[in-house]
Copies of this chain bind each other. A is one copy, B any other.
């Protein structure tokens, strides 16, 4: 058990053999300066790395930690080559993030996976099970489900009737995928996510509030990720569709009939109301709220906590409440701060004007 004061390093999986600085240079194609024989056993932030660990400098913000790090080896972006360097082995690379990806993968411990259906999983009689599928204990898979090749259904996850799960997809423990969803290849659905429930649609009638029957599907195209406890509702009169390659963080809400394009990034806590359409490559900061029945153009950026009420043109950056182009928002925010200092003399001036 770590307590706050102890050193807490990230180490690779047990049994992995240590690697050398030369291995790092070979893996990344980088330019090595220093001792190629230095041995590393893990990765750590520059300010906490030990002599047998690898550090990583990708941004000038961390130059101070770089100068004083105890790391045995540091990967450094070529553009930061003039930063004050510590007396350790350096590996210079063009793209430090890409380089780090490869090195991290060398240390990553794979979760144990058993192929086949666990005897304590529950599959209906007519489930189609692809090759190399894993279904963990407690998972419940309903009638008519198709499990694509090599997909992995986690412990206690549930898959509703008629849903299709793509090849190499993963549904994490305790996630709920409802009936008649279409889940693409390589999709990842994290723990506790709710996919394809009937959405929040009601109509006041003479006999009280009636639920709107939902006859649309919920479609997650290939390579979509859905974060833990996020909710993607099925469509009412339309499908809800998340476009290929779009990545959604934890605790995000996507309402019925929403269509999201390809390769969007949606940070935690975002809410998107019903029937809104979102283009390709749109990025959402955390906790942004998007109104229903509007359109967000491709490659737009929505800042964190923004409250978006109307259409956002393609490629623009909007922020604030109500959301406006970010430049206008900054000007208004700056004016407000200056106003705090002006308001009293201003009131005095205006009352003199009134009096005169």
Contact = CB atoms under 8 A, between A and B. Distances in A.
Interface of A: 1-4, 8-10, 12, 42-45, 48, 56, 61, 97-98, 100-101, 104-105, 107-109, 111-112, 118, 120, 122, 136-138, 140, 142-143, 154-156, 158, 160-161, 164, 166, 172-176, 178-180, 182, 184-185, 190-194, 197, 200, 202-203, 205, 208-217, 219, 221-223, 225, 227-229, 231, 233, 235-239, 241, 243-245, 247, 249-251, 253, 255, 257, 261-263, 265, 267-269, 271, 273, 286-287, 289, 291, 293, 304-305, 307, 320-322, 324, 328, 331-340, 342-343, 345-347, 349-350, 353-354
Contacts of A349: 349-350, 353
A227 B237 CA distance: 19
Which 7 A-B residue pairs are closest in the complex by CB-CB distance?
A: A194-B228, A176-B191, A140-B155, A158-B173, A108-B213, A231-B250, A122-B137
Nearest to A245: B209
A261 B3 CA distance: 10
B197 A228 contact: yes
B179 A111 contact: yes
20 contacts: A1-B182, A1-B221, A2-B241, A10-B216, A10-B238, A104-B213, A104-B215, A111-B160, A156-B174, A158-B173, A172-B176, A173-B178, A174-B175, A200-B249, A251-B271, A268-B271, A289-B304, A289-B305, A335-B339, A336-B336
Contacts of A322: 333
B345 A339 contact: no
Contacts of A269: 253, 269, 271, 289
Contacts of A244: 3-4
A253 B247 CA distance: 16
Contacts of A142: 112, 155
